[in-house]
Amino acid sequence: MTTNIKRIGVMTSGGDAPGMNACIRAVVRTAAFHQIECYGIMRGYQGMIENEIIKLESKDVANIIQRGGTILKTSRSEMFMTKEGRQIAADNLKNFGIDGLVVIGGDGSFRGAQVFYDEHKIPGIGIPGTIDKDLAGTDFTIGYDTAINTVVQAIDKIRDTADSHNRMFFVEVMGRDAGFIALSSGISVGAEAVLIPETKTYIDELIANIESGYKRKKLCHIIVVAEGDEEGGAVQIAEKVKAKFNHIETRVSVLGHMQRGGSPSCNDRLLASRLGHAAVDALIDGKLNYMVGIINDKIAFTPLAKANKQQPQINEELLRLVEVLSA
């Protein structure tokens, strides 16, 4: 089925992720290629309610593919969670003649798009933009690759000072519900332990691991902690561990929101470009209310209602790698 979509809106919603600008660029230029007008919605659903809608042409997205953040800005909107707020948003879109949406964000943004369609029949296509890589229906999300490279670069620098002073560092990375960032970066920096929400953390085992390392003359230890670990973040876990190691200097580094920033990696620019292009093609072809993702390096579609944050299946081989390679 081919739709008669003439004007589309594009927005970024929820947490920002490197590569969102590359995705906006792909959406705008694919729309222009098909002679479809494209409008940028500032600040996500809140901007939709406040009528912050601007026309975007190809020249408006020049020189943004390499930029972090999002030129459309982003926010979380409590007002859009109300029926009254969604009615205002729908009226604004209809005044612009917008008959399709591209929503770049996470599962909360997709739920909003689905409810919006149910109530106002404005179809949407979701594009996964989150550094956590925890959405069903895609192998990778925009921003994840850049985030893990940011973490690796930061921990490499931390290891230099840890080695110089024979210190133990607990490094906290993002991952409230998923440990993908911690696990991938932890293996890549040679961490002695990686603590993630998907596996139970035993402080006694961690202490024994550290003691074993020092008996083997290890001069420094790097422990990577996902913020959502059940034993707490890096600060809390470090307090529990250092009580057993008064003779070792212990430091904590919380990397925080630096993981969301920076110029997107080549992989994120490529992924964002592919998904942005596929989203517009999907609207044209009548494939409405889906999230467009990537599975086995091929474009894949998942109904928005099923593109939820999932309890990730951590690769057991990677968990084993941490144990073996830290020995």
Residues belonging to the active site: 132
Q: How far apart are CA 188 and CA 145, in angstroms?
A: 13
Cα 3 to its chain centre, rounded Å, is 31
Spatial contact of 210 and 242, defined as CB atoms under 8 Å apart: no
Q: Cβ contacts of residue 55 below 8 Å, gap of 6+?
A: 37, 38, 39, 40
Number of neighbouring beta carbons within 10 Å of residue 24: 28
Distance CA 152, CA 181 (A): 10
- Choose among 293, 307, 298: nearest CA to 144: 293
What is the token pair recorded at 219? Answer: 């001069």
Enter the DSSP assignment of 139.
Answer: S
| 124 and 103 Cβ atoms separated by less than 8 Å | yes
Q: What is the DSSP letter of 263?
A: P
**Alpha-carbon gap, residue 265 to 182, rounded angstroms:** 18
Contact 128, 138 (CB under 8 A): yes
Q: Which of 140, 87, 185 is nearest to 171 (CA)?
A: 185
Distance CA 299, CA 137 (A): 10
Point out which residues pair with 195 in neighbouring strands: 225
